[in-house]
Amino acid sequence: MLAIEALQPGLVKQFAAIIAADRLGQAYVFNGLSGTGKGALAQWIALRLFCQNVQAGHPCGECAECQRILSHNHPDVVVLATEARSLKVDDVRELKAELSKSGVEGQTRVFVIEEAEKMTPGAANSLLKFYEEPVPGAVIILTTAAKNQLLPTILSRAQIINFPTPPRVQVQAQLEAAGVSARLAAITVQLTADLAAGQALAADEQFQERITRVLKLAGQLAQKDATAFIAVQASLMPVAKALPEQTQVLALLALVYEDALNQHFHVAGPAAFATEPVVAQLAASGATALSTSLSAILQAQVQLRQNVTFQSDVEQLVLKLLAV
């Protein structure tokens, strides 16, 4: 059994039935938290379409075609992914050039764009031609953890599949059973649903340091302390040099404000920072201020993916949060 069949049995069953009935669509957006299996299901679909030994509607994972897909060597399964800050027009142009070609070994082709929220507006608009003039036999799958950052025109022309996450309390219990502190486990499960990724994150001393510094910044913001602006360069920059770390810092700050908003409205449930004093301080600032602050943080997350430098992005954000 492939791992995705255990992780997302409902979605696998759904797509097995769709493919068996020859009703697979041409465009999908797979939306869900990191660790929920978006890329793995896209790969499973490719396996199912090309497998030479389908068994009870499932790919065998062992035939020559399956092995080529699993080793990322199949000419008709194209995956676009990047470690860079964004996916640009040139990246999508290369994908579109592939889309315009016939299948190397058949009529069916599968195209996957991972972390599609990284697409610049130009890249996303460039991709729209596929939606307007679909290529027969081509299936395009966009994976994202932030579908609200995709163009509405893309969302409206694709089938959106939301990936359920394992109950956070379950993942948190597993992390704690593996030796992660309750505090770190509560924070980590808000960032990833993957147990192994959560363990690695919790064991990272730099991650713990980023948490400390984000909470300190939040405290300065709660007190309307203007030195928060200086803290961006002095405190955050040294622990957030690469894009994944910078993205994480903004995600952590968003969690602080989300917990404050929930506390303001007395919403019960799992929270990353509920016991931190700064959350109570922020909760007292009121719903309007908290909502405005969260919107500003979301915008900062979008700008970071659009090649705004981290320092400039967060400095602008801090000024907005101080003014709320």
Residue pLDDT tens, the chain, 324 long = 688 998 899 999 999 999 999 999 999 999 998 889 999 999 999 999 999 999 999 999 999 999 999 999 999 999 999 888 888 898 888 887 887 776 566 678 999 999 999 998 889 998 988 788 878 889 999 999 989 889 999 999 999 999 998 888 888 999 999 999 999 999 999 998 888 889 999 999 999 999 999 999 999 999 999 999 999 999 999 999 998 999 999 999 999 999 999 999 999 877 899 999 999 999 999 999 999 999 999 999 989 987 799 999 999 999 999 999
Same domain, 155 and 208: no
* Phi, psi for 138 (deg, rounded to 5): -95, 135
Does residue 129 sit within a domain?
yes
- What does the pLDDT read at residue 101? 73
Does residue 171 sit within a domain?
no
| DSSP summary character for residue 58 | B
- What does the pLDDT read at residue 106? 65
Give the separation between CA 131 and CA 83, rounded to whole angstroms. 26
Does residue 187 sit within a domain?
no
Same domain, 260 and 144: no
- How many whole angstroms from its chain centre is CA 99? 25
Got the DSSP string for 198-224?
Answer: HHHHHH-HHHHHHHHHHHHHHHHHHTT
Boundaries of domain holding 254: 204-323
Same domain, 222 and 135: no
